Protein backbone atom coordinates (compact mmCIF):
# COMPACT_ATOMS: atom_id res chain seq x y z
CA UNK A 1 0.00 0.00 0.00
CA UNK A 2 2.85 2.40 0.86
CA UNK A 3 4.63 1.59 -2.40
CA UNK A 4 1.43 2.37 -4.29
CA UNK A 5 1.15 5.75 -2.54
CA UNK A 6 4.80 6.46 -3.28
CA UNK A 7 4.23 5.54 -6.92
CA UNK A 8 1.28 7.96 -7.14
CA UNK A 9 3.33 10.75 -5.52
CA UNK A 10 6.19 10.13 -7.96
CA UNK A 11 3.82 10.18 -10.94
CA UNK A 12 2.33 13.48 -9.76
CA UNK A 13 5.80 14.94 -9.25
CA UNK A 14 6.87 13.89 -12.76
CA UNK A 15 3.69 15.40 -14.21
CA UNK A 16 4.31 18.72 -12.44
CA UNK A 17 7.92 18.85 -13.61
CA UNK A 18 6.90 17.94 -17.15
CA UNK A 19 4.25 20.66 -17.22
CA UNK A 20 6.73 23.27 -15.94
CA UNK A 21 9.39 22.31 -18.48
CA UNK A 22 7.13 22.13 -21.50
CA UNK A 23 4.96 25.13 -20.63
CA UNK A 24 1.58 25.47 -22.29
CA UNK A 25 2.24 22.82 -24.89
CA UNK A 26 3.11 20.42 -22.12
CA UNK A 27 -0.11 21.30 -20.29
CA UNK A 28 -2.19 20.66 -23.38
CA UNK A 29 -0.46 17.33 -24.00
CA UNK A 30 -0.86 16.44 -20.34
CA UNK A 31 -4.57 17.32 -20.40
CA UNK A 32 -5.13 15.17 -23.48
CA UNK A 33 -3.23 12.25 -21.94
CA UNK A 34 -5.22 12.42 -18.71
CA UNK A 35 -8.50 12.83 -20.58
CA UNK A 36 -7.94 9.86 -22.87
CA UNK A 37 -6.38 7.82 -20.07
CA UNK A 38 -9.43 8.29 -17.87
CA UNK A 39 -11.71 7.45 -20.79
CA UNK A 40 -9.85 4.20 -21.40
CA UNK A 41 -9.88 3.45 -17.66
CA UNK A 42 -13.62 4.06 -17.53
CA UNK A 43 -14.21 1.70 -20.43
CA UNK A 44 -12.06 -1.01 -18.83
CA UNK A 45 -13.92 -0.54 -15.51
CA UNK A 46 -17.30 -0.79 -17.23
CA UNK A 47 -16.32 -3.90 -19.20
CA UNK A 48 -14.83 -5.78 -16.24
CA UNK A 49 -17.71 -4.86 -13.89
CA UNK A 50 -16.75 -5.11 -10.23
CA UNK A 51 -19.73 -7.36 -9.59
CA UNK A 52 -18.31 -10.04 -11.88
CA UNK A 53 -16.20 -11.38 -9.02
CA UNK A 54 -19.27 -11.48 -6.78
CA UNK A 55 -21.28 -13.96 -8.85
CA UNK A 56 -22.06 -17.11 -6.92
CA UNK A 57 -23.54 -20.47 -7.83
CA UNK A 58 -26.98 -20.39 -6.30
CA UNK A 59 -28.94 -23.49 -5.39
CA UNK A 60 -30.89 -24.75 -2.38
CA UNK A 61 -27.70 -25.70 -0.54
CA UNK A 62 -26.72 -22.00 -0.54
CA UNK A 63 -30.11 -20.59 0.36
CA UNK A 64 -33.70 -19.93 -0.60
CA UNK A 65 -34.76 -17.38 -3.18
CA UNK A 66 -38.24 -15.85 -3.16
CA UNK A 67 -38.95 -13.76 -6.25
CA UNK A 68 -41.62 -11.10 -6.87
CA UNK A 69 -43.12 -11.06 -3.40
CA UNK A 70 -45.78 -8.40 -3.08
CA UNK A 71 -45.81 -5.77 -0.38
CA UNK A 72 -48.63 -3.43 0.57
CA UNK A 73 -48.74 -0.80 -2.19
CA UNK A 74 -51.09 0.39 -4.91
CA UNK A 75 -48.59 0.19 -7.75
CA UNK A 76 -47.77 -3.49 -8.02
CA UNK A 77 -44.22 -3.14 -6.72
CA UNK A 78 -42.55 -6.33 -5.53
CA UNK A 79 -39.40 -7.44 -3.77
CA UNK A 80 -37.06 -10.42 -3.95
CA UNK A 81 -35.91 -12.13 -0.75
CA UNK A 82 -32.76 -14.24 -0.32
CA UNK A 83 -32.37 -16.32 2.83
CA UNK A 84 -29.10 -18.17 3.41
CA UNK A 85 -29.30 -21.80 4.44
CA UNK A 86 -28.25 -22.83 7.93
CA UNK A 87 -29.43 -19.75 9.81
CA UNK A 88 -29.64 -20.07 13.58
CA UNK A 89 -33.30 -19.23 14.18
CA UNK A 90 -32.65 -18.68 17.89
CA UNK A 91 -30.48 -15.64 17.12
CA UNK A 92 -31.43 -12.24 15.76
CA UNK A 93 -30.58 -11.91 12.09
CA UNK A 94 -29.49 -8.97 9.96
CA UNK A 95 -31.23 -7.90 6.79
CA UNK A 96 -29.53 -6.00 3.99
CA UNK A 97 -32.03 -4.13 1.81
CA UNK A 98 -30.82 -3.29 -1.70
CA UNK A 99 -32.54 -0.24 -3.14
CA UNK A 100 -31.68 0.29 -6.79
CA UNK A 101 -30.47 3.59 -8.15
CA UNK A 102 -32.05 5.52 -10.97
CA UNK A 103 -33.02 8.89 -9.50
CA UNK A 104 -36.63 7.80 -9.02
CA UNK A 105 -37.02 7.75 -12.81
CA UNK A 106 -35.83 4.25 -13.67
CA UNK A 107 -34.15 1.10 -12.51
CA UNK A 108 -35.31 -2.23 -11.16
CA UNK A 109 -34.88 -4.54 -8.20
CA UNK A 110 -33.26 -6.98 -10.62
CA UNK A 111 -30.06 -4.92 -10.58
CA UNK A 112 -29.53 -6.09 -6.98
CA UNK A 113 -29.62 -9.83 -7.66
CA UNK A 114 -25.83 -10.29 -7.74
CA UNK A 115 -25.33 -8.22 -4.57
CA UNK A 116 -28.12 -9.98 -2.68
CA UNK A 117 -26.96 -13.49 -3.56
CA UNK A 118 -23.38 -12.64 -2.69
CA UNK A 119 -24.28 -11.18 0.71
CA UNK A 120 -26.59 -14.12 1.40
CA UNK A 121 -23.61 -16.45 0.99
CA UNK A 122 -21.97 -14.41 3.77
CA UNK A 123 -24.89 -15.13 6.12
CA UNK A 124 -27.10 -12.09 5.64
CA UNK A 125 -30.78 -12.17 4.78
CA UNK A 126 -31.08 -9.86 1.78
CA UNK A 127 -33.89 -8.24 -0.15
CA UNK A 128 -34.07 -6.15 -3.29
CA UNK A 129 -37.16 -3.97 -3.66
CA UNK A 130 -38.84 -2.12 -6.48
CA UNK A 131 -40.38 1.25 -5.81
CA UNK A 132 -42.56 3.57 -7.80
CA UNK A 133 -40.60 5.59 -10.32
CA UNK A 134 -41.73 8.83 -11.91
CA UNK A 135 -42.67 8.71 -15.53
CA UNK A 136 -41.02 11.66 -17.22
CA UNK A 137 -43.07 12.77 -20.18
CA UNK A 138 -41.31 13.06 -23.49
CA UNK A 139 -40.76 16.72 -24.30
CA UNK A 140 -40.15 17.63 -27.90
CA UNK A 141 -38.01 20.69 -28.44
CA UNK A 142 -38.65 22.35 -31.76
Same domain, 91 and 42: no
Q: How many domains does the chain have?
A: 2
Residues 6 or more apart whose Cβ sits within 8 Å of residue 98: 109, 112, 115, 116, 126, 127, 128, 129
Same domain, 99 and 121: yes
pTM over 0.75: no
| Higher per-residue confidence, 117 vs 16 | 117
Q: Is residue 76 part of a domain?
A: yes
Q: What is the spatial distance between Cα 20 and Cα 11, in angstroms, rounded to a whole number?
A: 14
Same domain, 72 and 124: yes
Whether 125 has a pLDDT exceeding 90, the answer reads: yes
Same domain, 96 and 69: yes
Q: Could you tell me the residue range of the domain that residue 100 belongs to?
A: 54-129
pLDDT in tens, 33-73: 888 888 887 777 666 676 777 888 889 999 999 999 999 88
Among 11, 27, 48, which residue terminates a domain?
Answer: 48
Same domain, 74 and 119: yes
Determine the pLDDT at residue 98.
94
Amino acid sequence: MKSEKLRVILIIAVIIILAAVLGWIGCIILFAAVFFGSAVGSIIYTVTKPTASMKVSWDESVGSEYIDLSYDNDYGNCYDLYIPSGLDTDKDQSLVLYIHGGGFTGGSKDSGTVWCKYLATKGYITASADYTVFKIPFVRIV
